[in-house]
């Protein structure tokens, strides 16, 4: 559980009966979820269960075709202005980092604050340096992403998302592309972020992380939420057989 | 140690890489005389090369009548451009040297050897030339280059801005200087384009072709990826139509059709040729740029969009810079091809470097000197192509820092 219990109880993200199809394939089959301010949500499940698709609908990288998604009081529709407002309030971290290889680390971080939030360069760089210190790599500011290790790149990606001062952070399997040695350095940053009170949705199989900081866990399978609950409930006493099987498989090694 | 136990290194000390040192004799043996047939091949090839070099040198130094070049040098360089206005061309050259000097000092500090060689070139040419005004102009050009270079070492930050503005302003200035203003003006009287020729015309066609077809090609490439069907289809039709037609016919069409489309307005012959070059080059450029656009992973778009960048910002700040970098070698190859293709404007009656070569060969004094004239023309083309390709390699190296 995170250190500070969410103070307000009103939900910042509301998903009601969210459906998504790829052609004929029914990828999301009615997802309903509420996330409170400051809540840390962990989403896990087998591959193809729709967990990545789901997290990407929240900032409209994927379009949902039925149901309702409301983020910070704004409903996601085809209205481009709403989409851009929501994207300003949500940071996203990807499995493959997706840093901009032609820009230095600091330029990666300051790009969106300068062009979207219209901050001055000096202001943006000052905040970028603070964030780089927070993720532990201020000395890499002038390097290019290609010169960094995977763990360092992912920490830059987190700093880049935080530079927009989002209210919500979305993590799409942030450690899946990393060598085992580097997973910890990224998780440490995420734990620190969770403890600072950030609202987070994390798609991950890092059960240690889930046990340490998650408030709620959702188990996805075949485009549905099979089961949800606190980490204690999930690990000690899962209700569904499918959850039990999956947890036993990923916890066995 | 038994054969089955794996060896475990006791120390983790790094070892130096294995070095191979050869004497000249061992290098020769390894690369040229390693076996009897390699030795035979080496001897035969050396003999052939010696014969060839001897033949070429003998011709070039004793038989060739290079006076055809020196007597017509001005014609080769600027065609029939009036002598009284030649200072305007020299002003363009000196300004160019100044800009190159500044840019070299800012972006090419590592290449000092090249800078010295390039800086010395005008002075060497000044010593060789027998024409007094040209000598003065060459010396001024050389000094302009050196001054630009020196300025950039003293005031780098300011000079960087000045040189970028200078490059942008250079092309309008070039045009005003070369073509002149209206007839009433006594300082810059107009020079009709039928007097433009030689290397001047070749370079103008190339520069205008590159400067205008590049943005047009990028727009066409972006348009071809557009989701709006009208834009998409217009771009596809344009690209496929132009690519399906030989360059010569595009040139002819530009000569004949542009006046039909724009009745009442007389468009200059050279401008029509330029339009042909641009129209043709843009279609190929668009496809090359599209190749670069497609090489950018989806994740780059997604990351940019997730940060809240608008579609235009995503294209201009994230996708295009990476896409263009990826296709620099192809683009430069295309620009070199464009440079050489401009020689086809002879067909529509313009006297570029190749056209001048043919008129020179028609002079009664110089009949039958094809070898000298075409060697010279090839040399000039070769020098410029080499410069373009060397520049692109420097640019690539510069842009790939840290990747």
- Say whether A102 and B325 touch across the interface (CB within 8 A): yes
Please say if the pLDDT value at position B360 is more than 70.
yes
- CA A248 to chain B, closest CA, distance in angstroms equals 33
Mutation site, B296, B298, B302, B308, interface A, largest A CB count within 10 A: B308
Collect all residues of chain A within an 8 Å Cβ-Cβ radius of residue B302: 61, 94, 98
**Could you tell me where the DSSP H helices lie in B225-327?**
229-243, 247-261, 269-294, 298-306, 311-313, 320-326
What pLDDT does B230 receive? Answer: 94
Q: Is the pLDDT of residue A29 over 80?
A: yes
Q: How would residue B73 be classed by pLDDT, with cut points 50, 70 and 90?
A: confident
- Confidence (pLDDT) at B159: 84
- The pLDDT value given to residue B104: 85
| Cβ of residue A143 closer than 8 Å to a chain B Cβ | yes
Higher-confidence residue of B327 and B105: namely B327
How crowded is the C-beta side of A154, counted as CA atoms within 13 Å?
A: 24
Q: Say yes or no to pLDDT of A5 above 60.
A: no
What is the per-residue pLDDT for A184? 94
Q: Does A168 touch chain B (CB under 8 A)?
A: no
Judging contacts by C-beta atoms under 8 Å, the chain A residues touching residue B305 are: 61, 87
DSSP one-letter string for B73-106: HHHHHHBT--GGGHHHHHHHHHHHHHHHHHHHHH
Of B306, B322, B403, the CB nearest to A87: B306
Query: Are A99 and B303 in contact (CB < 8 Å)?
Result: yes
pLDDT at A240: 92
Q: Which residue has the higher pLDDT, B243 or B182?
A: B243
pLDDT-derived band of residue B261, with 50, 70 and 90 as boundaries?
confident
Give the distance, in angstroms, between the CA of residue B117 and the centroid of all CA atoms in the same chain.
19
Q: Distance between CA atoms of B288 and B239, rounded to whole angstroms?
A: 11
Model confidence at A1: pLDDT above 50: no
Instruction: Quote the tokens at residue A198.
Output: 């950030």
Asked if B227 has any chain A CB less than 8 Å from its own CB, the reply is: no
Residue B187, pLDDT > 80, answer no
**A218 vs chain B: nearest CA distance in angstroms?**
23
For residue A217, give how far its alpha carbon lies from the nearest alpha carbon of chain B (Å).
Answer: 24
A74 shares contact with chain B (CB less than 8 Å): no
Find the CB nearest A100 among B305, B318, B402.
Answer: B318
User: What number is the average pLDDT over the span B28-44?
Assistant: 87
Check if the beta carbon of residue B191 is closer than 8 Å to that of residue B82: yes
Quick one: pLDDT at residue A6? 47
CB A14 within 8 A of CB A68: yes
Query: Using the beta-carbon criterion (under 8 Å), do A101 and B313 form an inter-chain contact?
Result: no
Give the Cα separation of A82 and A89 in Å (integer). Answer: 11
Mutate to test the interface with A, among B227, B296, B297, B307 (most CBs of A within 10 A): B307
Output the CA–CA distances (angstroms, integers) from residue A50 to A66, A113, A174, A218, B162, in the order listed: 15, 31, 16, 12, 55
| B216 burial via Cβ count (<10 Å: 0-12, 13-18, 19+) | middle
B295 in reach of chain A (CB within 8 A): no
Rounded mean pLDDT, A219-241: 93
Q: What is the mean pLDDT of residues B79-105?
A: 88
Kindly state whether B371 is in contact with chain A, defined as any CB-CB distance less than 8 angstroms.
no
CA distance B93 to B200: 11
A230-237: long-range contacts, CB 8 A cutoff, minimum separation 24? A230/A1, A231/A1, A231/A42, A234/A210, A235/A207, A235/A211
Q: What is the mean pLDDT of residues A228-250?
A: 92
* pLDDT(A179) > 60: yes
Identity of the highest mean pLDDT range in A192-196, B163-167, B266-270: A192-196
Token pair 């360059």 in the structure block, residue = B247
Is the predicted pLDDT of residue B251 greater than 50, yes or no? yes
3-class SS letters over B142-186: HHHHHHHHHHHHHCHHHHHHHHHHHHHHHHHHHHHHHHCCCCCCC
Chain A residues with CB-CB distance to B303 below 8 A = 92, 94, 98-100, 157
Q: Are strands A168-172 and A199-203 parallel, antiparallel or unpaired?
A: parallel
Of A94, A101, A116, the CB nearest to B322: A101
- Give the chain B residue whose CA is nearest to the CA of A102: B322
B312 vs A: CB within 8 A: no
Mean pLDDT of B368-391: 92
In the predicted structure, residue A7 carries a pLDDT above the cut 70: no
Residue among B55, B49, B159 at smallest CA distance from B107: B159
What is the percent of chain B where pLDDT is above 90? Answer: 44
pLDDT digits over B51-69, tens only?
999 999 999 888 888 888 8
**Is 50 exceeded by the pLDDT of residue B219?**
yes
B-proximal residues of A, 14-43, CB under 8 Å? none
Q: Which residue is listed with tokens 């998604």?
A: A69
Q: Closest Cα of chain A to B58: distance in Å?
A: 53
Q: What ipTM does this complex have?
A: 0.91
Question: Which residues 6+ apart lie within 8 Å of B171 measured at CB?
Answer: B207, B211
What distance lies between CA B57 and its chain's CA centroid? 29
Task: Residue A84: list chain B partners with CB under 8 A.
Answer: 308, 310
Task: Determine the distance in angstroms separating the CA of A104 from the nearest CA of chain B, rounded to an integer.
Answer: 9
Average pLDDT over residues A192-211: 95
Q: What's the whole-number average pLDDT of chain B?
A: 87
Give pLDDT tens digits for B146-179. 888 888 888 878 888 888 898 999 988 888 888 8
Quote the pLDDT of residue A4. Answer: 46
Q: What is the pTM for the complete model shown?
A: 0.83
Q: What is the mean pLDDT of residues B196-208?
A: 92
* CB atoms near residue A126 (< 10 Å): 13
Query: How many percent of chain A have pLDDT more than 90?
Result: 89
B27 to chain A, minimum CA–CA distance in Å? 37
| Residue A13 confidence class, pLDDT cut points 50, 70, 90 | very high
The tens digit of pLDDT for each residue in B283-314 reads 999 999 999 999 999 999 999 999 999 999 99
Q: Which two tokens stand for residue B202?
A: 């070749």
Of A205, A223, A224, nearest in space to A214 by CA? A205
CB contact (8 A) between residue B401 and residue A144? yes
The pLDDT, as a whole number, for residue A37 is 94
- So what's the pLDDT on residue A3? 44
Q: Say which CATH architecture domain B198-403 belongs to.
A: Orthogonal Bundle (1.10)
Are A98 and B321 inside 8 Å of each other by CB? Answer: no
Could you tell me the pLDDT band of residue B402, with boundaries at 50, 70 and 90?
Answer: very low
């Amino acid at each position: 559980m995170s250190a500070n219990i969410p103070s307000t109880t009103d939900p910042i993200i509301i998903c009601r009966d969210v459906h998504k199809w790829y052609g004929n394939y029914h990828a999301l089959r009615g997802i309903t979820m509420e996330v409170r301010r400051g809540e840390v949500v962990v989403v896990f499940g087998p591959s193809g269960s729709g967990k990545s698709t789901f997290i990407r609908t929240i900032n409209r990288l994927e379009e949902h075709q039925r149901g309702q998604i409301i983020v910070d009081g704004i409903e996601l529709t085809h209205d481009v202005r709403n989409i851009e407002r929501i994207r300003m309030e949500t940071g996203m971290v990807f499995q493959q980092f997706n840093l901009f290889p032609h820009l230095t680390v600091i330029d990666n971080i300051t790009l969106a604050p300068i062009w979207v939030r219209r901050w001055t360069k000096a202001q943006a760089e000052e905040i970028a340096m603070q964030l780089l210190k927070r993720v532990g790599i201020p000395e890499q500011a002038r390097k290019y992403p290609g010169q960094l290790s995977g763990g360092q790149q992912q920490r830059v990606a987190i700093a880049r998302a935080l530079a927009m001062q989002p209210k919500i952070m979305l993590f799409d399997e942030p450690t899946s592309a990393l060598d085992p040695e580097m997973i910890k350095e990224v998780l440490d940053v995420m734990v620190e972020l969770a403890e600072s009170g950030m609202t987070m949705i994390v798609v991950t199989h890092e059960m240690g992380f889930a046990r340490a900081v998650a408030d709620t866990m959702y188990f996805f399978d075949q485009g549905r939420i099979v089961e949800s609950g606190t980490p204690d409930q999930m690990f000690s006493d899962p209700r569904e057989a499918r959850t039990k099987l999956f947890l036993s498989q990923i916890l066995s090694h | 140690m038994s054969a089955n136990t794996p060896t475990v290194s006791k120390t983790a000390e790094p070892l130096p890489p294995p070095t191979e040192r050869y004497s000249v004799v061992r290098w020769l043996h390894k690369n040229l005389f390693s076996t009897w047939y390699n030795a035979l091949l080496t001897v035969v090839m050396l003999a052939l090369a010696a014969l060839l070099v001897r033949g070429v040198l003998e011709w070039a130094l004793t038989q060739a009548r290079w006076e055809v070049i020196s007597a017509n040098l001005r014609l080769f360089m600027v065609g029939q451009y009036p002598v009284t206005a030649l200072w305007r061309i020299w002003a363009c050259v000196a300004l160019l040297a100044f800009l190159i000097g500044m840019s070299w000092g800012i972006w090419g500090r590592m290449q000092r050897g090249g800078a010295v060689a390039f800086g010395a070139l005008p002075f060497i040419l000044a010593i060789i030339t027998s024409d007094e005004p040209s000598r003065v102009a060459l010396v001024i050009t050389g000094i302009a280059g050196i001054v630009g270079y020196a300025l950039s070492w003293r005031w780098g930050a300011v000079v960087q801005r000045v040189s970028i503005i200078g490059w942008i302003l250079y092309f309008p200035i070039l045009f005003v200087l070369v073509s002149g203003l209206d007839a009433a003006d006594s300082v810059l009287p107009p020079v009709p384009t039928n007097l433009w020729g030689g290397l001047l015309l070749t370079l103008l066609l190339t520069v205008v072709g590159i400067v205008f077809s590049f943005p047009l090609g990028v727009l066409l490439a972006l348009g071809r990826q557009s989701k709006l069907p009208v834009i998409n289809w217009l771009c596809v039709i344009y690209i496929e139509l132009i690519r399906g037609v030989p360059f010569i016919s595009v040139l002819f069409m530009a000569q004949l059709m542009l006046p039909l489309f724009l009745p009442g307005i007389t468009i200059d012959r050279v401008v029509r040729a330029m339009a042909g070059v641009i129209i043709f080059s843009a279609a190929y450029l668009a496809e090359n740029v599209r190749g670069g656009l497609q090489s950018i992973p989806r994740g780059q778009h997604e990351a940019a969009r997730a940060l809240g960048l608008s579609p235009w910002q995503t294209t201009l700040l994230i996708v295009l810079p990476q896409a263009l970098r990826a296709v620099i070698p192809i683009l430069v190859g295309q620009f070199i091809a464009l440079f050489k293709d401009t020689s086809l404007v002879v067909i529509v009656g313009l006297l570029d470097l190749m056209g001048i070569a043919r008129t020179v060969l028609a002079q009664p004094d110089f009949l039958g000197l094809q070898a000298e004239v075409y060697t010279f023309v090839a040399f000039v083309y070769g020098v410029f192509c080499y410069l373009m390709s060397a520049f692109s390699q420097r640019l690539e190296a510069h842009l790939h820092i840290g990747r």
